[in-house]
Chain A
Amino acid sequence: MAENGTDYFFIIASGTAILLLLVTFIIAFLFIHQKKYFEHQKRISQLNAKYQEETMKAQMEMQEKTLEYVGRELHDNIGQILSLIKLNLNNPEPEQIADSKSLVSNAIKDLRALSHRMNLNWATDISLHDFIESESKKIGNIGNFKVVYQSNGSLTIENNEDKVVLFRIIQECINNILKHADAKEIKFLVEEEQHLTILDNGKGFNLEEVEKGSGIVNLKNRAHLIGAELKIGSEIGVGTQIDIFLPQT
């Protein structure tokens, strides 16, 4: 009987110990998971803050560019037209008055165009296709480059802020080509859905050396922020290829 009692004690004690261990395991698991959950939440909010910061930075840069453009337009274009009108009105012959009227019309037209450019919500009205086309035209107008834009697929970004970031990425790529590539031909290709390729036949660069700098890292980070992937390939003497894979909608 005594042996039986010891056995009972052993069984009940070990059973209780196992169940207590189980409860401890569940509580510990709950704590570990909650810790991981809060760390994850913290990481997400940090990423969100960084994204907001990058978006703000991109918007500020765009505003600066716009203001720079407005200042240049006012100084070089409208200012020049007004000076001409002033000169004409010093000697108000019918011919000069007609000329001045035409100049005033031109100034009004230019101011309207300028006002349209100053509208900060322009990103909502413009599609990615139109943006790339307009950038191609701008580069083409410089006259030193052959610019090709071929589109066989669509590029879509629903979020307006993401769109602005992508515009900024494309402009940054163009700036880099204009500044450093020494290229004769620039191609913008959309050969499949949500995939944009920017190609140039410039002098190329050593990717390993350049990747250490912040320019490419920034471009990749910006792409990452909007859920896109940016890949760069370059060969010295051949040119550079930038592939931007946008998130599937």
Chain B
Amino acid sequence: MNLDQKLFFIVEMDIVRAIYYYILSIAAVLSIFNRPKDRSILLLQIYIISIFIIEVSALVAIYLGGYNNVWIYNLWVIIQFPFLTKIIFSQFKSKHKYLEKLCLVVFTTLPVCNFLFWQGINTLNTLTMQIGAVYMVILVLFYFRSLLDTPEKSIIRNPYFYIGTALLIFYVGTVLYYTFLNFFIKSDLITYTQISYILLLINWVTYSLFILAILLDSNNKRNKYLLKSG
């Protein structure tokens, strides 16, 4: 890979990483301009915009002089689980309010405690990522199970099916990545970088599916409007 190319505006990076940033940018722009009626899609859009800001901040930190930007990624580790918990729980037909509150409390307190007291600010909070990823995989599988109980609507046009699929792929990939992370770090840097591309490819798929979900929601909204107006 040629690392000297300026592929994402003024920032030097390889093509795989650049494509990830372009996909994330498209998702962020779409999130800024789309006006969803559904509160959970709005949450997803806010989540995407937050990730975009975090990623751009991390890039700016590198550009300004190679500062340690791990603490910026740790912020993302903290915010993701409450957001995604709200989005997935909103889709369960029978509302589990108590369980939702419990998950929200646990997956807000745990990342904050890890950030402040255990792994710290300047170390990537892998513990939070691993536990959270397993939790998200289980939550999405429960959501898929609940989809089978409600066959009234086709999931082909259901944005939440794509959000669930994106999260499942992303977090299964994350669990695998972080499980073998220590092994990769011990090996040579080139192999580690090559392996980390897999995580970037998973990110491509994840954010592409998020884009698809937002577009579908917008399309469904327009169809409903057309049906209403006649």
Chain A residues proximal to chain B, CB less than 8 Å: 4, 7-8, 11, 15, 18-19, 22-23, 26, 29-30, 32-34, 36-37, 39-40
The secondary structure that dominates the A interface is helix
CA–CA, A198 and B155, complex, Å:
45
Residue among A8, A19, A30, A40 making CB contact with B151, cutoff 8 Å: A40
Residue numbers in A under 8 Å from B152 (CB-CB):
37, 40
Residue numbers in A under 8 Å from B168 (CB-CB):
22, 26
Across the interface, do A19 and B172 meet the contact criterion of CB distance under 8 Å?
Answer: yes
Residue among A18, A29, A40 making CB contact with B176, cutoff 8 Å: A18
Residue among A8, A15, A39 making CB contact with B191, cutoff 8 Å: A8
Across the interface, do A39 and B151 meet the contact criterion of CB distance under 8 Å?
Answer: yes
Chain B residues proximal to chain A, CB less than 8 Å: 144, 147-148, 151-156, 165, 168-169, 172-173, 176, 180, 183, 187, 191, 198
Which of A7, A36, A39 has the largest count of B CB atoms less than 10 A from its CB?
Answer: A36
Across the interface, do B172 and A7 meet the contact criterion of CB distance under 8 Å?
Answer: no
Chain B nearest Cβ from A47, distance in angstroms: 13
Across the interface, do A26 and B165 meet the contact criterion of CB distance under 8 Å?
Answer: yes
Across the interface, do A18 and B172 meet the contact criterion of CB distance under 8 Å?
Answer: yes
CA–CA, A40 and B148, complex, Å:
11
Chain B nearest Cβ from A173, distance in angstroms: 33
Residue among A15, A33, A34, A39 making CB contact with B198, cutoff 8 Å: A15
| Residue of A with least CB distance to B144 | A29
Across the interface, do A33 and B187 meet the contact criterion of CB distance under 8 Å?
Answer: no
Across the interface, do A37 and B155 meet the contact criterion of CB distance under 8 Å?
Answer: yes
Known contacts A8-B191, A11-B180, A33-B155; is-contact A22 B169 (Cβ 8 Å) = yes
Which of A4, A29, A40 has the largest count of B CB atoms less than 10 A from its CB?
Answer: A29
Residue numbers in A under 8 Å from B153 (CB-CB):
37
Across the interface, do A36 and B180 meet the contact criterion of CB distance under 8 Å?
Answer: no
Sample 7 A-B pairs with CB under 8 A, ordered by A number. Answer: A7-B183, A15-B198, A19-B169, A26-B168, A36-B151, A37-B155, A40-B151
Residue numbers in B under 8 Å from A23 (CB-CB):
169
CA–CA, A39 and B144, complex, Å:
18
Across the interface, do B187 and A4 meet the contact criterion of CB distance under 8 Å?
Answer: yes
Residue numbers in B under 8 Å from A39 (CB-CB):
151
Residue numbers in A under 8 Å from B183 (CB-CB):
7, 11
Instruction: Return the 10 tightest CB-CB contacts between A and B, nearest first.
Output: A36-B151, A40-B151, A37-B151, A37-B154, A15-B176, A33-B155, A22-B172, A11-B180, A26-B165, A29-B144
| Residue of B with least CB distance to A30 | B155
Residue numbers in A under 8 Å from B147 (CB-CB):
33
Residue numbers in A under 8 Å from B173 (CB-CB):
19
CA–CA, A4 and B187, complex, Å:
9
| Residue of A with least CB distance to B202 | A19
Given A19-B176, A37-B154, 14 more contacts at CB 8 Å? A11-B183, A15-B176, A18-B172, A19-B169, A19-B173, A22-B168, A23-B169, A26-B169, A29-B144, A33-B147, A33-B155, A34-B155, A39-B151, A40-B152
Known contacts A11-B180, A19-B172; is-contact A34 B165 (Cβ 8 Å) = no
Across the interface, do A36 and B148 meet the contact criterion of CB distance under 8 Å?
Answer: yes
| Residue of A with least CB distance to B175 | A18
CA–CA, A36 and B150, complex, Å:
9
Residue numbers in B under 8 Å from A15 (CB-CB):
176, 180, 198
Residue numbers in B under 8 Å from A11 (CB-CB):
180, 183
Residue numbers in A under 8 Å from B151 (CB-CB):
33, 36-37, 39-40
Residue among B154, B172, B180 making CB contact with A34, cutoff 8 Å: B154
Residue numbers in B under 8 Å from A37 (CB-CB):
151-155
CA–CA, A165 and B153, complex, Å:
29
CA–CA, A139 and B151, complex, Å:
48
Chain B nearest Cβ from A9, distance in angstroms: 12
